[in-house]
Amino acid sequence: MSVAFLFPGQGSQFPGMLHQLPSHPVNETTLDEATSFMDKDALSIDTSEALSSTVSVQLALLYSGVASGRALIQEGAKPDFVAGHSVGTFAAAVISEVLSFRDACELVKLRAEWMENSFRFGYGMGVIVGIAEQKLRSMVEKAFKCGQEVFIANLNGPHQITIAGKLEHIQNLFVEARRNGARKAELLQVSVPSHCKLLNQVSHDLELAMKKVIFKEPCFPYVANTNARLLRSADAIRNDLACGVANPVQWHQATTLLSELGVRLFVEMLPGQVLTNLARQELPSVQSIAMGETRLDSVVYLINRERKWNEA
C-alpha cells in the first residue's frame, strides 16, 4: 500500500485560504520564505480582490501546496508519489525536491503573468459533465472547423472534461453539449484558456526560462500531467512543467496509474477538495482525503497507518 500527495490547481482557491493554513511552524516558515523571495507579503495575495489576478491565484496555490506537503513530511508522513493538477505540478516538484521553492515561486509568477497578459479579455475555461470523451472530442472538432476557438483542456474523469477557449465559443458548445445529454455545463473561475495550443508561446517562453534553473533528480516519483507517466528524472519533469500549460491535463489517467501502482491513499493538499471528490467518484477502491476536511494530526495518523499495513 502506498500514499500519493495530490496538489490542486486553479479553481480551488478561495479568499483567506493562506490565513486558514493549520498552525504549524513549517507553514509559517514557508509563508515567510515566500514573502522574502517575492518581496511581497504572502498573506496579502489571498483577498477577494487579489485573487481576481491569475498571478495571485497561482502563487497562493503554490504557497499552500508547498506548506501542506512540508508540514506532513515534517511530522514523518512522507508520500511514495506526488502528482499536481496544472499549476499544482510546481508544488509537487518542490515537495519532490526537483525544484527549489525560490525557483518555483519565480517560475510560477512568470507563468501566470504570461498567461494573464496573453488573454486579458473574453477567454476562459468551462466544465462539461455527462458526455464521454470521444463524443465531446467530436463536438469540439466540429466547432473548431466552423471557426470556433474551443479546445479540450483537462480530462478529469471519463465524463468530466474541461474545455478552454473564447468564452463566446465555449457557451456555444455548452448549448450543443446540453442537447447531447450533458448533466452540467458551466464556466470555471479561470480567466485564461489554459491547457490548449493557445498557450504555445507561454510554454515556449517557460521552457527557455527553465533552462536557467537547476533541476534535481526527484526524491519521490512524479506523475506527469501531459502523458500520465511516472517520471523519475529531472529533465522529464522539467519538460512536463514547461509543456503542461499548453497541453491537456491527463488527470484521470494519472490517478488511475497511481492506483495501478498500488496507491491506496490519496491526500489532497490545501486548499483543495476537487481532486478528492474526483477520486472518490472515479476510484472508490482508493481512500481519498483532503487536508481541508480534517485535522493535520488525523492526516498524519492515516498516512502512518498505511505505512504500518504496508510493512506488515
Among all residues, which ones are annotated catalytic? Answer: 86, 195
By the 8 A CB rule, do 145 and 156 touch? Answer: no
- With H, G, I as helix, E, B as strand and everything else as coil, classify residue 11: coil
DSSP letter at 294?
A: S
Alpha carbon distance 65, 50 (integer Å): 18
Alpha carbon distance 110, 41 (integer Å): 18
Nearest to 300 by CA among 28, 27, 79, 25: 79
**CB count in 10 Å sphere of residue 16:** 12
- With H, G, I as helix, E, B as strand and everything else as coil, classify residue 251: helix
DSSP letter at 76?
A: T
107, containing H or E segment: helix 101-118
> In this structure, what C-alpha cell is assigned to residue 114?
504570461
